[in-house]
Chains A and B, each alone.
Chain A
Amino acid sequence: MTPSQSKMLRNMAVLAVLIVLGLIMLVPLIWTVMLSLKSNGDLLRSTANAFHAPYTGENYTAILKNSQVLHWLMNSVIVSGLTTLGVLVLSSLAGYGFARLDFPGRDKLFLFVLFGLAIPEQAVIITRHQLFSALHLHNSFPGLILPGLAAPFGVFLMTQYFRAIPKELDEAALLDNASKFRVFWQVLLPLTIPAQATLGIFTFLSSWNDYWWPLISATRADMFTLTVGLASSQINFAQTSGLGYLMTQAVFASVPILIVYIIFQKYIVKAVSGAAVR
């Protein structure tokens, strides 16, 4: 066998392995879509019916008429959107402060913020829940949004990014007697847009998919996010007669985030890798 032949053989083998593994990845998703395209009555008789026609879009028209699911979708958009905005503002300000300005105790304070990366949500959940009860913040948008603003990852990321910008830029502006805030706002902030995109998408994704805090804080159905709403439909799984409809909810909830993923693929990969090696 010549070297080029053996190389081609190897490429074929790699492709075969990838196709098998790729199918294992995709079969659960395909099965979900197939179930969502069947009428509930058909599935009640046997889920094996999903392997063949007739297929129907009735579950999808039903979900578009279900105001509750659309309401949860809106809640998710509001909570994730405002959390992302808040994190970007707070992290940019703090990142500039830690990277560029001097104040007493700055470096110790930065280490203290880094320590927060090691605190898991579960270690603070009981007392945070009590705190929010005392402030009557449960079942409200501030109650769902505020905990996300305390996460130190964004500050860490933005500080690193501000540090990498050449100092000459802001020094020149400060010589022109611009205020620190103007230097931050007009000179440096426009240069951080790639980092803002990375942090923004990372924050949006994790807020959108967050389950643990909204499960505990939002107990009224009208304040559920899509993630918790979907969990509440799932908890009564054994009693459900609308299997096709339930799977349609799963598809419906996946679509927005898959679209975000496809559009921002490049940034998402950067963001999650950054979060892991932090």
Chain B
Amino acid sequence: MSITPHKKADWSNALFVAPFLFFYLFLLIYPLLSGMVLSLFKADLFGGREFVGLENFGRLLRDDIFLQAVGNTFWFVLLTVPPLTVIPLILALLLNRTTRVAAFFRGVFFSSSVLSVTIVTLIWRMILMADGGFITNVRAMFGLPAIPFLSDPNLVMVSMAIITVWWCLGLPMMLYLSALQQVPKDIYEAAALDNSDWLRTLFSITLPSVSRTVILVAIFEVVLQFQLFGQPQLITQGGPNGASRPIVLFIFEVGFRRWDIGYAAAASQILFAIILIATVVQYFVTRKGSK
């Protein structure tokens, strides 16, 4: 027996990774690959399968409902990513101190992040609904009419964005806070000696040293918000007139309500491609910064 058996490249060592790999291949890689194959077929639930090549993708490009869902999703990403990049940064700058008050507020701003989407939508429906919602009640006290947040096609995605920003701002705030804590203290002391005012310190020291985190948060949020599903599915079911239907809800409806699974698989490949591109960008941004 060799003295340091673990130095040797030995097949039996792979036994430690085998259990995970089994689940990984069986439940993630296999469905991914067979989904790619399925997207080339016209298939239904009852086993009917006919090879159609790229026709599902062609059909998607001509499908007004899908194109609307793609447009909605991009619009939603545009509405949520800038606030989810900037507001948590402001909060982190305000809360980057060791007082009890700061710890309390950090808890407050993060608390919504641990709730499930079903709870979040239930809560926000009671805030936004035109008939008896919190905002309607408050406006009524001042004699103002209700605002149709959830039934006006121009407002509904904005409402979804407000809900999502409220729900998701805790995590980027924490990321910014841990980045701010890594800024060396002596730089600030030097700035204080220079009599640099706080605004100049902010723009010449603090913000440049968290710039990489800003990019990271932005890309992370793009990936996350492209997967919008629960908020519109639970509150509006994609309405009115599809104004709040995102890509994932389209996949859900086509795949699990109409059972047109080849077509749904094709739509999910397009979502996968978008997310993969964003993840690859994120990977390179992360690698570059950490040397």
Q: Which residue of B lies closest to A18 (CB)?
A: B105
A101 at the interface (CB under 8 A from B): yes
Complex interface bits, A233-258 against B, C-beta within 8 A gives 1, otherwise 0: 01101000000001101100110011
Mostly, the A contact residues are helix
8 Å CB contact of A126 from B6, B94, B268: B268
Q: Which residues of B contact A127 (CB under 8 A)?
A: 30-32, 34-35, 38, 265
Pair A25/B166 contact, Cβ less than 8 Å: yes
Contact with A along B124-146 (1 / 0, CB 8 A): 11110000111001001000000
Which among B61-69, B75-83, B111-119, B183-191 touches the partner chain? B111-119
Given contacts A127-B38, A209-B116, A235-B234, contact A250 B251 (CB under 8 A): no
**CB contact between A102 and one of B10, B101, B116, B123 (< 8 Å): that residue:** B10
Let me know if A193 is at the binding interface, CB within 8 A: no
Question: 1/0 per position for A51-72, CB-CB distance to B under 8 A?
Answer: 1000000000000000000000
Cβ-defined partner of A131 (8 Å) among B17, B30, B111? B30
Q: Name the distance in Å between A141's Cβ and chain B's nearest Cβ.
A: 15
Nearest opposing residue in chain B for A101, CB measure: B13
1/0 per residue B30-55: CB within 8 Å of A?
11101100100000000000000000
Interface residues of A in 170-185 (CB under 8 A from B): 170-171, 174-175, 177, 180, 184
| Given A120-B227, A126-B255, CB of A97 within 8 Å of CB of B13 | yes
Q: Does A157 lie at the interface of the complex (its beta carbon under 8 Å from any beta carbon of B)?
A: no
A113 to B24: give the CA distance in the assembly, Å: 8
A36 to chain B, nearest CB (A): 10
A25 touches B109 (CB 8 A): yes
Chain B nearest CB from A33 CB (Å) reads 10
Given known pairs A25-B109, A146-B23, A149-B27, the reply for A101 and B256 (CB within 8 Å) is no
Interface residues on chain A, number (Cβ under 8 Å) = 99
The tally of residues in B whose CB lies under 8 Å from a CB in A reads 91
Residues of A within 8 A of B268 (CB): 122-123, 125-126
Minimal beta-carbon separation of B138 from chain A (angstroms) = 9
Chief secondary structure at chain B's binding surface = helix
**Hey, which chain B residues are within 8 Å of A43, CB to CB?**
132
Cα-based distance from A207 to B178 in the complex (angstroms): 25
A129→B275 contact, CB < 8 A:
no
Whether B16 contacts A276 by the Cβ 8 Å rule is no
Sample of 17 further A-B pairs with CB below 8 A, known A118-B280, A123-B268: A22-B109, A28-B134, A29-B111, A46-B132, A47-B133, A48-B137, A90-B19, A94-B17, A100-B6, A101-B6, A102-B10, A127-B34, A128-B31, A211-B117, A211-B230, A227-B117, A272-B174
Chain B residues within 8 Å of A, Cβ to Cβ: 1, 3-17, 19-21, 23-24, 26-32, 34-35, 38, 91, 94-95, 101, 105, 107-119, 121-127, 132-134, 137, 140, 166, 171, 174-175, 178, 198, 216-217, 220, 227, 229-230, 234, 248, 251-252, 255-256, 261, 264-265, 268-269, 271-272, 275-276, 279-280, 286
Which 3 A-B pairs give the minimum distances between C-beta atoms? Answer: A97-B16, A101-B13, A123-B272
